[in-house]
Structure 1
Amino acid sequence: MSESATVGTITDEGVARLRARIGLPQVYPVPPHYLRPGADAFRHVARSYGDDNPLWSVPSYAPTTRWKEQIAPPPLIGGDSLIGEDQLTEAEWEQQKELRGDPLRGVHAFYAASEREWWAPLTADQRIFRRTALVGVVDKPSEFGGRGVQEWTSQAYRTEAGVLLGVQHRMMYRTERSKARERKKYADVTVAPWDEDQLAALDEQLAAEGPRGSEPRWWEDVRVGDPVGPLVKGPLTVTDMVCWHVGMGMGMYGVAPLRLAHRNRQRIPRFYHRDELGIPDAMQRVHWDPSYARRSGNPTTFDYGRMRESWLIHACTDWMGDDAWLWRLRVEFRKFNYVGDAQWVEGEVTRRYLAEGDRPAVDLDLRTRNQRGEVTSPASATILLPSREHGPVRLLDAPGSTLDEAFDATIESFSGGRA
């Protein structure tokens, strides 16, 4: 079979070539959106997902908290191309020539799952470095698009001063476009218009929301079964996604306007398809162009998984208060969130215990649920809480003292990917 005949198709050869890259440090496709994120970046990122906690956005507020200075909202540490200059050895830079191109060229990629861990707060105006590698390739048949592959990538981060910040394992689900269109799994999904009473009910919920802020949530006061949320997000609009991009950038494909778009087309020409006027435009427009979304097998445009991930983080930080620490978050994106859909971010406490022997912690079961009653993103989180008996939150040590050590340890813990 010719190479052109396999474009857009998941083949055994392509999967084998992809697996051969597991564990090899690689350059990220685009430079970081924020090279030295400061107070403005912290505010812009928080606003992009609707978070009004002054801990992220009001410099005069932060000194009154246990952190003593402004810190970044958790979504900034990780999150695709937001931060991190590549840290590679000279030999690893040379090896990048062998890692060019996509072994599954033309095969669609959905952001389908994420596992994150935070080790230390990020303060303003620092250079940040990252290590990136493919860590797992799992064959997983897709009801939506025939054959599917889970492609897991890990990134770890440190500051220029050597503070290890955290790690993210990110899964892109690869599906064949033509089969997705043929199956039309979501052809019967409809998004009904919202009436005035429904919008008024949403407004009432939004008006009642807010961060817990400076009031500690004491570990001793938490009980299994306590509710988390709900936060309401939506109904989703294209404007929400425009505001998202203002804070979060354009992601790993480096989508850009005008002359920069021309340069990006030269870099990744197959990422651009002509629109109805014959103009080359990015495939990423499935998120704001309804006709193009239908070509991918969806009834209309839809959100980014990273948006819902940040909404789940928002629910955690609103609930836990400023004295606590979000340690871990795991999330899967099982259903699309279409323009016009609302999502309720909700959950409950499932466990209260001492983590690593002596750190007061709670585990949460979380989810996003739409107006049709469907769970679109099941998730879980672990939060460290202040304690009257055990004292203020003490952060967990990173798995290593250098970025290389931490990255190797997290890759080892993730060996083989997730089935």
Structure 2
Amino acid sequence: MSTTNSTDNETAVIEGRITDEDIERAKAQIGIPVYSRDVPWNKVPTSDSISHFAWGCGDDNPLFHDPAYGANTRWHDQIASPTFPIATGLDQTPKFTDPERKKLFRGLFRGTGKYYSGVKWTWYQPVYPGRPVLQENYTLDVEVKESQFAGGRSVKETFRYLYVDISGNPIATRDESYINAERHGSKKAGKYSHIERQRWTPEQLEEIEKTYEAEQRRGADPRWWEDVNVGDELPTVVKGPLTVVDIISMHMGWGWGGYGVGPLKYAHQLRKRMPAFFVPDQYGVPDIVQRLHWDADRAAELGLPAPYDYGQMRAAWITHLLTNWIGDDGWLTEMDIQMRGFNYHGDVHWCRGRVVAKGETPDDPVTIEVSATNQRDETTTKGTAKVLLPSRKTGAVVLPVPDVDLRRRGAKVASRVKGKVGEELRRLYGE
């Protein structure tokens, strides 16, 4: 057991240090479902909310925007872009009532920097307008390491988000990893102090515009399994230069990502509940720590050259690349990516992919190596994806089936009846 006393804890919070006690508690949380007190941005997916999310990611695929277009695809309706579940999910997990469990889940790693490091998505079925999504989340893994960024100790936490339909059938899993880094170390390390915000010439911007114009979307023309070969390159998708408007637009589609952030009185309520989530700005106004995504002064305080994006944005950008390529009849079944660098305001990213493996039959996924590289030739995002494609011989894609343990967990999620689903459907349809 940890022998850290209260004075040590207070000092650690002020200095942004990681304590042994926090590490012990983080590991003790593994596998235990946690109730999310924050209301999902979209209680029930609608045509508009699905469209708004794709819009916030800069993805104009009509399959994600137009019910009439979707009606003429194998999905028979508009469907959501792959990472849309981050913007929905009714949580019916019971709240903790016993003091020990409440103490176990009290805030961890206070005062440290928390950085999105990667995500692994697995998809089993589409999200449709009007069909509720249920959610459960819990800690999947905790790993302690020395931080290259912060120059001190860091902790990698991986959280699983399980999304199911109201029958308990899994829709998707999202295994999302974050690095908790000691902020006093990041200031001393100065690893990114040599980077300056990019300045663009009109000629350079014109080349970026041409890439936007050249974007290719397969759409209704099937990409047949038989026509794909190892070494095939996916048409590039460009994103940027990143601006504050891009950050705002992502929030308009995504919401606040479960942080409970809000304006005015909502901010007051959050300050009462989570005072450590707020840090005074240079004028003494308490503002959320998340502002480093748009506040240049806050980014500078943390040793960064400029604000930067969300990892959720680059995950959505890579799915944009993939869904453009597979077309309406394909299915993105898995994506596992790591964030290897920041995407600062002013940066441009070129999202690329290449087929690296192909199974023996159309029922086997095609494996694609994916990346996002900026104008400094830094690959800040890298990973792999697996897709299923229709076949001239065997026909349409067969959606993947979750393993029995995941189906059982999904059934438990659906069995937690709190009346939320019925209430939201009645509200949605006015019954």
Q: Verify same fold: TM over 0.5.
A: yes
> Contact (CA 8 Å) 1:236, 1:340: kept in 2 or not?
yes
State whether structure 2 residue 341 is matched by structure 1 residue 335. yes
1:165 and 1:182 mapped to 2: Cα distance? 44
Task: Please name the residue that 1:119 is paired with.
Answer: 124
Taking only aligned residues, the RMSD between alpha carbons, in angstroms, comes to: 1.8
Amino acid at match of 1:86: D
The counterpart of 2:64, out of the listed 52, 56, 65, is: 56
CA distance in 2, matches of 1:104, 1:89: 24
Contact map agreement 1:22 1:134 (CA 8 A) in 2: yes
Q: 2:32 aligns with which of 24, 37, 43?
A: 24
Residue identity matched to 1:15: I
Residue type of the alignment partner of 1:229? P
Runs ≥4 residues deviating over 6 A: none
Question: How far, CA to CA, are the matches of 1:29 and 1:223 in structure 2?
Answer: 47
For 2:75, which of 59, 67, 80 is the aligned residue? 67
- Residue 162 of structure 1: how far off its partner (Å): 3.4
Write the distance in 2 (CA, Å) between the matches of 1:249 and 1:209: 27
SS in 2 for 1:74: coil
- Contact kept? 1:156, 1:167, Cα under 8 Å: yes
1:368 is aligned to 2:372: yes
Post-superposition CA distance 1:357-383 (Å, at most 9, x none)? 761421000000000111001111000
- Cα displacement string for residues 316-359 of structure 1 (whole angstroms, at most 9, x for unaligned residues): 000110000000001111100000000000020001115xx761
Q: Which residue of 2 aligns with 1:100?
A: 105
Q: Is the 8 A contact 1:289 1:301 kept in 2?
A: yes
Q: Which residue of structure 1 lines up, in the alignment, with residue 389 of structure 2? A: 385
Question: Displacement of 1:128 after TM fit?
Answer: 1.7
Aligned to 2:419: none
Find the partner of 1:231 among 229, 233, 237. Answer: 237
Match of 1:113, SS state, is: strand
Shift of 1:98: 3.8
The whole-number CA distance in structure 1 between the counterparts of 2:388 and 2:126 is 14
Counterparts of 1:12 and 1:122 in 2: how far apart (Å)?
Answer: 41
Map of 1:316 onto structure 2? 322
Q: How does 1:219-368 map to 2 (within 5 A)?
A: 219-354=225-360, 359-368=363-372
Partner in structure 1 of residue 44 of structure 2: 36
**How far off its partner does 1:193 sit?**
0.9
1:89-238 maps to which residues of 2 (within 5 A)? Answer: 97-145=102-150, 146-238=152-244
SS at match of 1:134: strand
Q: Supply the distance in 2 between the matched residues of 1:406 and 1:93 (Cα, whole angstroms).
A: 23
Residue 12 of structure 1 pairs with residue 17 of structure 2: no
**Corresponding position of 2:401:** 397
Are 1:156 and 1:403, in contact at CA under 8 Å, matched by a contact in 2?
A: no
Q: Is the 8 A contact 1:399 1:405 kept in 2?
A: no
In structure 2, what residue type is equivalent to 1:207?
A: E
Cα distance, 1:407 vs structure 2:
8.9
Calculate the TM-score normalised by the size of structure 1.
Answer: 0.92
Contact 1:157–1:403 (8 Å) recurs in 2:
no
Q: Is the 8 A contact 2:164 2:410 kept in 1?
A: no
**SS at structure 1 position matched to 2:25:** helix
TM-score by length of 2: 0.89
**How far 1:401 moved relative to its partner?**
8.1
* 2-structure distance, mates of 1:337, 1:407: 39
What amino acid sits opposite 2:102 in the alignment?
K
Preserved CA contact (<8 Å) 2:169 2:411 = no
The unaligned stretches of length 5 or more in structure 2 are 413-431
